Every structure is written in C-alpha cells, then in structure tokens.
C-alpha cells in the first residue's frame, strides 16, 4: 500500500518537479524516503533559508513550480525569509512544512509551532493536512494555487500522517494555464484617446513586460516615447532597445528620472513601482497591470487597465497614430547618452594598492561573463553596480531579492540557478556581509559540485546601511566588519579562492575564476567610501548629510568626512 508521502512525491514527479531543496529531519522521513527512487533530485543545503531562496530562484528562472521542505518547528520556520522573497517576487514555490506528531498538537510539545499561522502572510495558500483522507487534494490545490496565483503555497503535514497509508492513490499532474487578459474595447478606446492627446509620453516598463518586447518597441516608436525600466524588468526591456533611457528609483540614475519628470503622460506597463517620490506629480497616468488590485496604489490614475502587457498592447496599437514630433524622445536619449558616459567614466582602475572602485568590478564582470550568464546580486551595494554596469542581451538573466530586499540572497539563489541550469554560468555578486550571513552555503556548492562563481565586494562594512545612516546624519560605529581573507575561507571550504587587492589583478583573477571547472570565489577589496548618488536629492536628504558632516567634525572625525568627500567628488561633477 502506498503511503501519503509516496503519493505526494508521485504527484510532484508527474507535474514536472525535478528537485526538492531542504535539510532532512525525522518528521520528513516518509517524504525523503519516497524521493529515493522517484527521479526527483534531493538537494541538501546547510540552512533551510537557503532551501527556500534556491527554490525561488529556480522558479524565477524557469517559470515552473519549485519545491522546498522543512522539518517540524525550527526546520520549517527557517524557510520563512526565502518564502517571503518568493511570494513578493511572484514566483511559484511549494513549501512542505512537516509538523509534530498529530497526537501532540496543542499540548506544547517539543518543537511545536503553528505553521498555518506563521506562513499565512507569505503565501497564496496554506493548509494543514490532519488526515490521509485530505490528501492528495490539499497538495494539488496548493500546487494549482502556486502556479496560477504566482506565489507560495504551503502544505503543513505531520510526519505520522505522511507515513500513513494513502486513501486515494490516483496521481494528478498539475500544470499552469496561460490565459490572455485584455481590457474591454471601451477601456482601450479611452487609453488610445488619452495617448493621442499627449505631447510627451514616457513609458515606465516593469517586470510584467516579460514576453512583450516586440509590442513594447512598436509602442515606443508609435508614441515617440522614451522607455524607463525598473530593476526587475532590466533583463526583459534593456536588450535591443533603441528607446531605452535607463532606470529610475533609488538604484536608478538621472536620465530615467528626467524622462519621467519631463513627460505630460506616463504609461506604466506591468509595474507596481513603489518609489512615489520618483513618479511625476502633474502627469496624466495610465497604468496596465494584470493584477487589478494594484492599479493606482502609487499615484492617482487617469485610467487603469486590467490586462497582461503583451495582449493589451496588441489590442491598443491599432488604435494609435504614429507621433511625428519626436523632440521629447530625442532629448531623453541625448540625456541618457551623457548620463551613461558619466557612469562609464566612474568604472576605472585605481593605482597601486588602493581599494578598487566597485564600478570597475561591475564593468569587468560584465565584460568577462558569458553571453548567457545568470547574475544574482546581493541586496545592498552589489545590486547598485549590477543595475548600472551589467548589460542585458536577451540571453542573460538577472534575478535577486528586488522586492523583499533581503540580505544574503545571492549565494543561496545561485544554488537554485546552478541546479536548474547545469553547465550555464551563474555569477553571484555578493557583499562581504551577505556572503558571511549564509557562509555555510559555500559548502553546499562544494557538496553538489555546483560551478557557481561568487564575486565578493569586500569593503569591510555593511556598506549600504552605512551610507544610509550617514545620509540621515547618524554615527555609523555599528556597520564595520573585521573580515579575514574570504578567499582563504573559500579554499578551506573546497572552492577555488582568489584574493584581489589591486586593480591590475582583477582581470586575471576573474578570468581564472570563470574558467575554473567548479565553484570559485573572488574576494575583491573595494572602496568603503564609494557613495551612490541618487537621480535627485531632496532638501531633507541634503539636511541629513549636512547634519552628519557637522557631527563628524565636532566628534573629531574630520578625516572620515574628508575621505568620503574625496572618494565621491568625481561622481557629483
């Protein structure tokens, strides 16, 4: 007689699941035993948080359901940060959260938690299977919720239930449906009328533009509209795009901000862009999103349309006329060219043993990486350099914790990317704080022989936090990190390690790491005082930095202020 766990595994296999990420535990014994001859790979990590991040990365890159598991109590509790990231990134992940024995639930038993309550906020579906009779219906319902709701589904099941005889053994394959969602004819006509009246249209293209590149280019040409992209849409919008004027927002730069500030009509496509101070205050705003509940969350709308971007633009384009006056587009492109040149001028080597400019590291990684590389930056300063210096070509991918904003995402997400695409180059751009937080996943790379290349921006600080604190006028004694050689740590873990302390060493070290047949870590000593200038600075931000400067001088730390100023004058002018 098949067990409940066996039936669960058979259902996953029939639905195309290729691997499961996790750490074993006695409450998972039935499930992990059923995996042995299933054809599904067991990918053991060193921390359950990494399991959830790895599954989220696989789902982001493949679009298919990915699975992670956690044993009862602390085991599945560790999944939560990675599951929050997957939920907010809208990628389909199934988490199987084992529970304590059924007979002990509610008694304050060893490792008892309440998983359905814990995971409710970071899931589209969470349910507790208290009896074999509930399975496999709960499992298939959860899987459908994950793939159709594009989020996390959690099945909570006690170990004794998973070892019980299955009541029904029929196996159902669960696959995602891909509907076309188009606004009504009246709504499309209203959108066309607003766009025909506009003098200066700017497009803000988000991650929802995936799969609509041709339509987006046709629309930009029709409206003579510059395209500003978000970080999540960079990989989809930037390639082969003559209308691209860069990013805006906290990680963006001046040309994207200016193209939006100068428009009279803003067309938001597939984006829930959260940074309201960067949105124009007086423009007419039209928003297209497949999630109707997200329309108008950030800025008042003249019109909100519910639809997927590709289908909506297919229906809208025939209603428009080609704009003949293209000054707004030409001005925006010229400003982007100037801004791009200034950014490239910052990506230069330094003399002698001075810490490297992180811009130079980003530029060289871009030049030496494969044409179809997968890049995964840590949240913090690495994501800034990825946004500004990695070039997308339609084959490269760029993923990260871009909505949830978790530290230490790059290394565990690289595990999932490398498992899903064996033989494809995966480059984790880690901060020294980020790689240290989940340092054990270096051992996961070694154990599974995953040839991930980890490039560490080692500035001996929690740099992004430090810069935020300084700009707000706070003293930053808590952000320093006393690091040993991370390359030596990598070597001890079984990776190939490279230590780079001079600009003239970087090219050869990266080239050797990328060519190495196995996991490698490049520990690059970078400038701690490198400031990232946002596209605009508010009066309050200026006051904050002035307050920081005054406190620094009064405390006798004038050298620190001088170092910060010297390091960043070249970015301002």
Give 476-508 pLDDT, tens digit per residue. Answer: 555 667 888 999 999 999 999 999 999 999 999
Domain assignment present for 541? yes
Q: What is the DSSP string of 522-566?
A: EEEEB-TT-PPPPS---HHHHHHHHHHHHHHHHTT-HHHHHHHHH
pLDDT at position 239, please? 97
Which CATH number do you get for residue 356?
3.40.50.970
Domain assignment present for 170? no
Looking at 338, 373, 403, the residue that finishes a domain is 338
Spatial distance between the Cα atoms of 486 and 475, rounded to a whole number of angstroms = 27
Asked if residue 2 has pLDDT above 60, the reply is yes
The answer to whether residues 120 and 202 belong to one domain is: no
Q: Could you tell me what percentage of the chain is helix, strand and coil, using 3-state DSSP and rounding each to the nearest 5? A: 45, 15, 40
Domain assignment present for 175? no
Closest CA to 123 of 140, 102, 105, 143: 143
Q: Which of 111, 190, 447, 571 is catalytic?
A: 111
379 is known as an active-site residue: yes
Omega within 30 of 0 (cis) for the link into 517: no
The answer to whether residues 315 and 397 belong to one domain is: no
Specify which residues 41 forms β-bridges with: 19
H/E run at residue 331? helix 327-346
Closest CA to 212 of 190, 227, 197, 196: 227
Looking at 94, 129, 162, the residue that finishes a domain is 162
Asked if residue 463 has pLDDT above 90, the reply is no
Looking at 288, 306, 338, the residue that finishes a domain is 338
The answer to whether residues 419 and 497 belong to one domain is: yes
48 is known as an active-site residue: yes
- State pTM to two decimals: 0.91
Q: End-to-end CA distance of the chain: give it in Å, rounded.
A: 74
110 is known as an active-site residue: yes
Q: What is the DSSP string of 81-117?
A: HHHHHHHHHT--EEEEEEES-GGGTTTT-TT---HHH
Q: pLDDT for 175-231, tens place per residue?
A: 999 999 999 999 999 999 999 999 999 999 999 999 999 999 999 999 999 999 999
What is the three-class DSSP state of 315?
Answer: helix
563-565-570 Cα angle (round to 5): 115
Contacts of 69 (CB under 8 A, 6+ apart): 20, 21, 22, 28, 31, 51, 76, 95, 96, 97, 98
pLDDT at position 250, please? 84
Q: Which of 236, 278, 457, 464 is catalytic?
A: 464
Mean pLDDT, range 122-134, rounded to an integer:
97
Asked if residue 565 has pLDDT above 60, the reply is no
Query: By the 8 A CB rule, do 229 and 216 touch?
Result: no
More confident residue, 460 or 465: 460
Domain assignment present for 280? yes
Q: Which of 201, 379, 415, 427 is catalytic?
A: 379
- HEC-encoded secondary structure of 150-200: CCEEEEEEEHHHHCCECCCCCCCCCCCCCCCCCCCHHHHHHHHHHHHHCCC
The answer to whether residues 90 and 198 belong to one domain is: no
Give percent of the chain above pLDDT 90: 84
Spatial distance between the Cα atoms of 65 and 91, rounded to a whole number of angstroms = 8
**Residue for token pair 């805006």:** 248
> Parallel, antiparallel, or unpaired: how do β-strands 374-377 and 426-431 relate?
parallel
Asked if residue 307 has pLDDT above 60, the reply is yes
Domain assignment present for 319? yes
Mean pLDDT of the chain: 91
Contacts of 3 (CB under 8 A, 6+ apart): 30, 34, 162, 163, 164, 165, 166
Query: How crowded is residue 111: how many other Cβ atoms within 10 Å of its Cβ?
Result: 16
pLDDT tier for residue 540 given thresholds of 50, 70 and 90: very low
The answer to whether residues 263 and 388 belong to one domain is: no
Mean pLDDT, range 351-360, rounded to an integer:
93
Pick from 89-93, 246-250, 404-408: least confident: 246-250
Cα distances (angstroms) measured from residue 302 to each of 196, 282, 285, 299, 357:
14, 11, 5, 10, 44
Q: Which of 110, 167, 330, 541 is catalytic?
A: 110
Mean pLDDT, range 74-81, rounded to an integer:
97
Domain assignment present for 167? no
The answer to whether residues 206 and 100 belong to one domain is: no
Mean pLDDT, range 429-435, rounded to an integer:
95
Spatial distance between the Cα atoms of 268 and 17, rounded to a whole number of angstroms = 35
293 is known as an active-site residue: no
Asked if residue 544 has pLDDT above 60, the reply is no
Pick from 157-166, 367-376, 480-489, 538-547: least confident: 538-547
pLDDT at position 571, please? 41
Contacts of 541 (CB under 8 A, 6+ apart): 471
pLDDT at position 475, please? 53
31 is known as an active-site residue: no
Domain assignment present for 169? no
**Into how many domains does the chain fold?**
3
Query: By the 8 A CB rule, do 49 and 438 touch?
Result: yes
The answer to whether residues 302 and 385 belong to one domain is: no
Specify which residues 377 forms β-bridges with: 429
The answer to whether residues 324 and 222 belong to one domain is: yes
pLDDT tier for residue 529 given thresholds of 50, 70 and 90: confident
The answer to whether residues 330 and 458 belong to one domain is: no
More confident residue, 169 or 181: 181
Asked if residue 379 has pLDDT above 70, the reply is yes
Domain assignment present for 176? no
Backbone angles phi, psi at 147, to 5 degrees: -80, -35
- Determine the structural domain holding residue 357 and report its residue range: 347-572
Mean pLDDT, range 542-564, rounded to an integer:
43
The answer to whether residues 397 and 374 belong to one domain is: yes
Query: By the 8 A CB rule, do 63 and 413 touch?
Result: no
Q: Which of 17, 20, 31, 48 is catalytic?
A: 48
The answer to whether residues 418 and 520 belong to one domain is: yes
The answer to whether residues 28 and 92 belong to one domain is: yes
């Amino acid at each position: 007689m098949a067990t409940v766990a066996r039936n669960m595994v058979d259902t996953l296999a029939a639905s195309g699941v290729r691997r499961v990420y996790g750490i074993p535990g006695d409450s998972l014994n039935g499930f992990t035993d059923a995996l042995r001859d299933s054809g599904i790979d067991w990918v053991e990590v060193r921390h359950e948080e990494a399991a959830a991040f790895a599954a989220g990365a696989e789902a982001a890159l493949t679009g298919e359901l990915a699975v992670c598991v956690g044993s009862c109590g602390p085991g599945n509790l560790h999944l939560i940060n990675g599951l929050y990231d997957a939920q907010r990134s809208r990628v389909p992940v199934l988490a199987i959260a084992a529970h304590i024995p059924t007979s002990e639930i509610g008694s304050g038993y060893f490792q008892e938690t309440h998983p359905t309550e814990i995971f409710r906020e970071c899931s589209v579906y969470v349910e507790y299977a208290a009896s074999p009779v509930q399975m496999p219906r709960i499992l298939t319902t959860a899987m459908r919720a994950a793939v159709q709701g594009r989020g996390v589904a959690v099945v909570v099941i006690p170990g004794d239930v998973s070892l019980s005889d299955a009541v029904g053994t029929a196996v159902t394959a669960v696959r995602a449906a891909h509907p076309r969602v188009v606004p009504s004819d009246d709504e499309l006509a209203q959108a066309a009328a607003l766009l025909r009246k506009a003098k200066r249209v700017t497009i803000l293209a988000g991650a929802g533009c995936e799969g609509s590149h041709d339509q987006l280019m046709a629309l930009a040409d029709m409206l003579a509209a510059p395209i500003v992209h978000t970080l999540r849409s960079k990989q989809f919008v930037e390639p082969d795009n003559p209308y691209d004027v860069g990013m805006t927002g906290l990680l963006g730069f001046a040309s994207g901000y200016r193209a939006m500030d100068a428009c009279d009509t803003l067309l938001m496509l597939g984006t829930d862009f959260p940074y309201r101070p960067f949105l124009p205050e007086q423009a007419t705003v039209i928003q297209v999103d497949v999630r109707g509940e997200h329309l108008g969350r950030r800025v008042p709308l003249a019109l909100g349309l519910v639809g997927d971007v590709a289908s909506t633009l297919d229906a809208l384009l025939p209603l428009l006329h080609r704009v003949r006056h293209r000054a707004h587009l030409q001005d925006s492109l010229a400003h982007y060219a100037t801004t791009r040149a200034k950014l490239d001028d910052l990506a230069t080597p330094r003399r002698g043993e001075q810490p490297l400019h992180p811009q130079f590291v980003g530029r060289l990684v871009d030049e030496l990486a494969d044409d179809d590389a997968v890049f995964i930056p840590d949240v913090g300063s690495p994501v800034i350099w990825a946004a500004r210096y990695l070039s997308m070509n339609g084959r490269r991918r760029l993923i990260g914790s871009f909505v949830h904003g978790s530290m230490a995402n790059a290394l565990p997400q690289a595990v999932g990317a490398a498992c899903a695409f064996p033989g494809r180059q995966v480059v984790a751009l880690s901060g020294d704080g980020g790689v240290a937080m989940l340092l054990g996943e270096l051992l996961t790379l070694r154990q599974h022989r995953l040839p991930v290349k980890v490039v560490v921006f080692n500035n001996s600080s929690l740099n992004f936090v430090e810069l935020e604190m300084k700009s707000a006028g706070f003293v930053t004694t808590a952000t320093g990190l006393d690091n040993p050689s991370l390359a030596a740590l990598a070597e001890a873990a079984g990776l190939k390690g490279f230590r780079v302390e001079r600009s003239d060493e970087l090219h050869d070290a990266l080239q050797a790491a990328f060519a190495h047949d196995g996991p490698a870590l490049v520990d690059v000593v970078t400038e701690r005082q490198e400031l990232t200038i946002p596209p605009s600075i508010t009066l309050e931000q200026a006051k904050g930095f002035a307050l920081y400067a005054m406190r620094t001088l009064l405390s006798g730390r004038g050298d620190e202020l001088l170092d910060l100023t010297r390091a960043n004058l070249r970015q301002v002018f």
